[in-house]
Structure formats: structure tokens, C-alpha cells
Amino acid sequence: MTRSNVVGIEVVLSDGAILTDLRGLPKNNAGYDLKQIFIGSEGTLGVVTKALLKLSRRPAGTASVLLALNHLNSALVVMEALERACCHSLLALEIMWNRYFEKVSTALSAETPPLPPGHPVYLLAQVEGMDSSEQAVDSLVGALEGIDDIIDSALATTPVQERRLWSIRDGSDVIERAHKHVLSFDVSMRPHKYAAYIADVEARLKARISDAVAYYFGHLADGNIHFMIGHDGSLSDATRLIEECVYDALASYEPSSISAEHGIGREKAAHLWRSRSTAEIAAMNRIRAALDPAGILNPHISYEPKSLDAQYASAR
């Protein structure tokens, strides 16, 4: 997350004043953490001219494993085992549902995909070895030993093998090319609620826009799902209908967010009320008015609360 990797910023305010905090101290509780107000504000509070970023040591060696699983619950079992055994050496834990995995792996693989499609869920994990890739392999194998939920697996022990596995997870442009129109979403919730939420969205899509095809993947441990929903554009209001299917369903899975790791931007601004209360949006607008009273900074984005009645009606 950007928030945890920015340790200082310089910002030009709407009146030309320059606000500088480039100290980079890991501990500094002297008053407000002003940089966090600007991170995610998307130019509505000031213009960032400098940023001081936290860097991490490059891993001495890594290993990745692709797992085929029967159910989300199996993925959660694997996640718990990896987090417990590998701790901070667990670098990534990505989940892909079959429709995404099959579409991308088939399109990308000049040879046979590393695992056959058809399994409900695929999990891709990467672990760091403190001194070598061999240590990473030992950590992975040791953490997964004895887990009966794993149907099939492909272990990558070299950089070339790892790139092949990760090309599937990172190959979402395949989905973009497969459909005339594609809408992308970035939502978050508790990981154990994924299955029910996806089933809910699928049912809503089937009832309202029959040609829609949804693909799911994301960051399991972070509770972050990416949706890519393709359609042929035959319905003039397809975008609105698909957004309602995704966001209305999300209201039943609190806590949740309509924008997990990406900004609100202009497309999601009208849906901000789904993840922020009326009081929170009012506070945001007061901060904005205080720092930009003339309203000259990014005027294209407006944060408007909805009434509770409207929220409940939309959720239904």
C-alpha cells in the first residue's frame, strides 16, 4: 500500500504555500500525520512535488508455488499455514478463480499450462529465503507439508519458472482483449466472505445483464478482490447495471470498501458513500474547504453523501 511506503512528502497548497515533511522518521507522533491527509486525496488538497519513499532490501532468493484447490476454505487453510510458518518471509499470496485462470493461462501458454484448468480456486504464493532460493523452497515445502486440501501444485525454484507462474496472475490484459467492453473493480472485505459475495454478484449479473462474464482474482491475505466484467455493449446502461450488481451486493459484507488499493478518481466518486459515512464525507469536505477555499484543486471530483434512505434503497 502506498500509505505504508511513503515516509515524507512536500506539497504545494492552493495558496502557494509549501508544506514540507521530508524527515523520514519511523517514529514521530508530534501532532497530526499530515502526509496521510494528502495520500489518496488525488490532488483535491494540494499538489505533491516531492515524496520520500521507504525502500526494502532486495530478497536474497525467492520461490513460488501455484496450488489448485477445491474451495475458498482450502485457500484460507493454506493462507493460515503460510502466515504461521513463513511470517515476514511470505512476500505474496494471490488467489485466482477458475474462469480467470483458465482464460489467462490458456492464452499465455505456448506450452501446457503449469496446472490444468478446471479446479475451482488457484493460489499463488511467493516466499523469500533469508540467504538463498533453496531456503525459500524449504520454507514453502515445510509450510505446506501435511495439508490435505491441496489437489495439485507447481513449484517454481528459478527466476524463469517464477516469471512463468506470475505471468498468469499478471496477465489481466488477456481479459481486456477478450471482450468488447470490460469494467474493472477493486473491492475489499474479510477474506472468509469472498465465496458468498462472488455468488451474490454472479446471481445479480445473471438476472440483469445476461451476456456479462465476470473474472475474479486478487490479494487473498489483504482481503482485496479484483473483478473484471466483460460484456458486448448491447445494453445502453450496461455500466450502471454492472456497477449496481457489484456495489449493491457489497453492502451486505461489512466492513468493506469499493476502492481497496486504487483511488476513488472520477468514476467512483459517486459511489464513495457506499464505503464512507455521511459524517466521514462531511469531514473530508471540511478539510478540503479549509485547504482549498476557492475550489481550484481538481474540481472534477466531488464527494457527495447520500441520505440513509437512498443508501438502503440502493442496497436493496
Q: Looking at residue 1, what is its pLDDT? A: 84
| Section 303-309 average pLDDT | 69
Residue 145 has pLDDT above 70, yes or no: yes
Chain segment 56-83, per-residue pLDDT in tens: 888 889 999 999 999 999 999 999 999 9
- Indicate if 187 and 280 belong to the same structural domain: yes
Kindly report the CATH number assigned to the domain that includes residue 153: 3.30.70.2190
- Indicate if 72 and 47 belong to the same structural domain: no
- Indicate if 194 and 164 belong to the same structural domain: no
- Indicate if 186 and 309 belong to the same structural domain: yes
Q: What's the chain's average pLDDT? A: 93
Q: Percentage of residues in the chain with pLDDT exceeding 70?
A: 96
- Indicate if 78 and 142 belong to the same structural domain: yes
Residue 168 has pLDDT above 80, yes or no: yes
Number of domains present in the structure of the chain: 3
Chain segment 186-239, per-residue pLDDT in tens: 999 999 999 999 999 999 999 999 899 999 999 999 999 999 999 999 999 999
Q: Looking at residue 132, what is its pLDDT? A: 85
| Section 242-258 average pLDDT | 95
- Indicate if 206 and 153 belong to the same structural domain: no
- Indicate if 194 and 255 belong to the same structural domain: yes
Residue 109 has pLDDT above 80, yes or no: no
Q: Looking at residue 56, what is its pLDDT? A: 87
Least reliable range by pLDDT among 205-219, 260-274, 295-309: 295-309
Q: Looking at residue 316, what is its pLDDT? A: 44
Kindly report the CATH number assigned to the domain that includes residue 209: 3.30.70.2740
Kindly report the CATH number assigned to the domain that includes residue 13: 3.30.465.10
| Section 161-187 average pLDDT | 96
Domain residues for the domain of 219 are 178-315
Residue 315 has pLDDT above 60, yes or no: no
Q: How confident is the model at residue 50 (pLDDT cuts 50, 70, 90)?
A: very high
- Indicate if 160 and 69 belong to the same structural domain: yes
| Section 246-253 average pLDDT | 95
- Indicate if 182 and 285 belong to the same structural domain: yes
- Indicate if 98 and 24 belong to the same structural domain: no
- Indicate if 115 and 231 belong to the same structural domain: no
- Indicate if 132 and 38 belong to the same structural domain: no
Residue 21 has pLDDT above 80, yes or no: yes
Question: What pTM was computed for the model?
Answer: 0.91
Q: How confident is the model at residue 94 (pLDDT cuts 50, 70, 90)?
A: very high
Which residue has better confidence, 94 or 4?
A: 94
Asked if residues 143 and 109 have their Cβ atoms less than 8 Å apart, the reply is: no
Decide which of 104, 136, 169 is a domain's last residue. Answer: 169
